[in-house]
Amino acid sequence: MNALAPESLSDKEKNELMQQIKQEVAVASAQEMLSKMSEKCFKKCVVKPGTSLDSSEQKCVAMCMDRYMDAFNLVSKTYSARIQREHDRM
């Protein structure tokens, strides 16, 4: 029998495995957010790439990142609340 089969794990081991998976998903989600945010904000704000950003580009990037993170957080909270509601119904 496979040592990682769910039925062979104790409740404590299952909880630890779930925590580890949740942490890995959170890290992957944060990495994805940073990658997409960088790509989208750069495309939006840096029209003529050079050796540095001028003040308007810096301001645009900062505001873009703030809006992107606000939107990401709102979606994450809404998704978490939905998952919790569905879990509570079971």
| Candidates 2.30.30.140, 1.10.287.810, 2.40.30.110, 3.40.50.300; CATH matching 12-89 | 1.10.287.810
6-54 per-position pLDDT tens digit: 677 888 888 898 889 989 998 898 899 899 999 999 999 998 888 999 9
State the pLDDT at residue 21: 92
DSSP 9-65: S-HHHHHHHHHHHHHHHHHHHHHHHHHHHHHHHHHHH-SS--SS--HHHHHHHHHHH
User: What does the radius of gyration of the chain's CA atoms come to, in whole angstroms?
Assistant: 20
Structure tokens at 5: 């089969």
